[in-house]
């Protein structure tokens, strides 16, 4: 790694990301967060910057970013930070836990994070800045859009296609060939058996849906 690594964020998701970096023998040079978990051993001794403006003073040619901000429905901070730094010429590290199983034919875009215990099977594609979280399964020929979060324990069957900023909740299941529109949510534990339109949420196993407000 020729560039210095800057980790954005100092709480839960950032801690998991930092341990993956350690597993990969990659050193964090700077943490960017107003507050960090001071009790976490993985953050000790690392230079801290308090805000994004301090990062923007640093050369994007000499630094690469890791997005340590988590992702929840209705909260687009992770996406906003990604877009902000990309506009300013920075790149984001693609991060794959060595404790995951990824087919050689899988395509991972910039900034994708694959957490421990994940399985991604043949010819699937994962879009920019997406989190494939712990223990989730993505089967063959899936296309996962930009800024998605596939939460822990979720299962996505073959040939599923998702739009941008989709959230697949903890333990949710999506059957094969389903299409999910931008900014939609499959709630925790739900089973999705029909296509889901933009800005919709399924929050029960009986496919009861409601519309989400557009988040500007």
As a whole number of Å, the end-to-end CA separation of the chain is 36
Q: Which of 140, 149, 167, 208 is catalytic?
A: 140
Query: Does residue 208 have an active-site annotation?
Result: no
> From edge to edge, which strands make up the β-sheet containing 185-186?
95-96, 113-114, 131-132, 149-150, 167-168, 185-186, 200-202, 209-211
Cα distances from 112 to residues 15, 59, 68, 93, 143, in angstroms, run 16, 22, 11, 8, 13
Active site residues per annotation? 140
């Amino acid at each position: 790694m020729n560039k210095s690594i800057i980790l954005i964020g100092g709480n839960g998701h950032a801690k998991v990301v930092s341990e993956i970096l350690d597993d990969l023998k990659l050193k964090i040079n700077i943490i960017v967060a107003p507050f960090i978990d001071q009790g976490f051993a993985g953050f000790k001794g690392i230079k801290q910057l308090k805000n994004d403006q301090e990062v923007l003073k640093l050369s994007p040619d000499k630094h690469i970013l890791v997005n340590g901000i988590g992702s929840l429905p209705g909260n687009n901070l992770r996406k906003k930070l990604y877009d902000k730094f990309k506009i300013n010429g920075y790149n984001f590290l693609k991060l794959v836990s060595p404790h995951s199983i990824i087919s050689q034919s899988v395509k991972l875009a910039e900034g994708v994070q694959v957490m421990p215990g994940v399985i991604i099977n043949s010819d699937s594609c994962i879009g920019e800045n997406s989190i494939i979280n712990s223990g989730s399964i993505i089967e063959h020929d899936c296309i996962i859009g930009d800024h998605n979060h596939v939460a822990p324990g979720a299962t996505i069957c073959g040939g599923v296609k998702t739009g941008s900023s989709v959230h697949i909740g903890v333990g949710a299941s999506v059957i094969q060939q389903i299409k999910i529109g931008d900014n939609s949510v499959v709630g925790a534990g739900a089973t999705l058996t029909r296509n889901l339109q933009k800005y919709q949420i399924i929050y029960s196993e009986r496919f009861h849906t409601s519309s989400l407000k557009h988040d500007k």
